[in-house]
């Protein structure tokens, strides 16, 4: 059984996996190098780090599409094994990227992916990472905007079983994220897997 993490390159997927599993996951490597899902085995549970999607310096449009298609195929093929999906966003970059795409009349890939995960019935958890880079008095506004863009009406606090602000760097929000992941596994009657995650 699997927990999958999706998100743009450099949002901190690998850092989040490190926090959840305690494994020595490679972080901060050159973006876009990971082409295949990387699986971290934690007993009977596997945590899967998906290649980062979206724009990366020096990468062709065709290659970006290819990565996205690869992720979609993986999720479809492995749906039965996937218990939980975490979509990781960069708190500081998200709003700006989304607006840029919308100005061009395109659906941002982050939003597309979130909807796709929902269509698969996965009830994705939205991990808003790098919250340490946002001033405390601006955080509610940033999180409200994330919700709004993902078709969840603000205020964000009513979605605290979907949206979790964290910093994989400072550890802020990590206990809340772990609690939510555990709760979801319980709801799926997968209590037997709880012991494989880092406390």
Ligand X SMILES: Nc1nc2c(ncn2[C@@H]2O[C@H](COP(=O)(O)OP(=O)(O)OP(=O)(O)O)[C@@H](O)[C@H]2O)c(=O)[nH]1
68 binds ligand X (CB under 6 A): no
Indicate which single residue of 125, 130, 143, 146 sits in contact with ligand X (rule: CB under 6 A).
Answer: 130
129 binds ligand X (CB under 6 A): yes
Q: CB of 14: closest distance to ligand X in angstroms?
A: 3
Given strand 163-165, what is the order of strands in its sheet? 38-42, 45-49, 2-7, 82-90, 125-129, 163-165
**Side-chain half-sphere CA neighbours of 76 within 13 A:** 8
Report yes or no: 37 and 50 within 8 Å, Cβ to Cβ. yes
Judged by DSSP in three states, 168 sits in: coil
Q: CB of 159: closest distance to Mg ion in angstroms?
A: 26
Indicate which single residue of 37, 52, 54, 165 sits in contact with ligand X (rule: CB under 6 A).
Answer: 52
- The interface with ligand X within residues 28-47 (CB under 6 A) comprises 28, 31, 34
Residue 19 touches which of Mg ion, ligand X, none (Cβ within 5-8 Å per kind): none
149 binds ligand X (CB under 6 A): no
> Rounded to a whole number, what is the distance in angstroms from the first to the last CA of the chain?
19
């Amino acid at each position: 059984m699997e927990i999958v993490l999706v998100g743009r390159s450099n949002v901190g997927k690998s850092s989040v996996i490190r926090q959840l599993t305690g494994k020595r996951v490679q972080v901060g490597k050159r973006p876009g190098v990971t082409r295949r899902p990387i699986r971290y085995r934690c007993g009977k549970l596997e945590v899967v780090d998906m290649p980062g999607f979206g724009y990366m310096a020096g990468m062709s449009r065709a290659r970006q599409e290819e990565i996205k298609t690869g992720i979609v195929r993986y999720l479809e093929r492995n749906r039965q094994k996937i218990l939980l999906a975490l979509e990781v966003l960069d708190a500081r970059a998200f709003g700006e990227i989304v607006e840029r795409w919308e100005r061009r009349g395109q659906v941002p890939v982050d939003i597309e992916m979130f909807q796709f995960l929902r269509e698969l019935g996965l009830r994705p958890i939205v991990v808003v990472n790098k919250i340490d880079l946002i001033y405390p008095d601006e955080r509610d506004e940033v999180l409200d905007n994330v919700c709004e863009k993902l078709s969840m009406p603000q205020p964000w606090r009513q979605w605290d079983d979907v949206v979790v602000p964290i910093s994989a760097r400072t550890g802020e929000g990590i206990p809340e994220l772990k609690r939510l992941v555990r709760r979801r596994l319980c709801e799926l009657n997968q209590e037997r897997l709880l012991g494989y995650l880092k406390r």
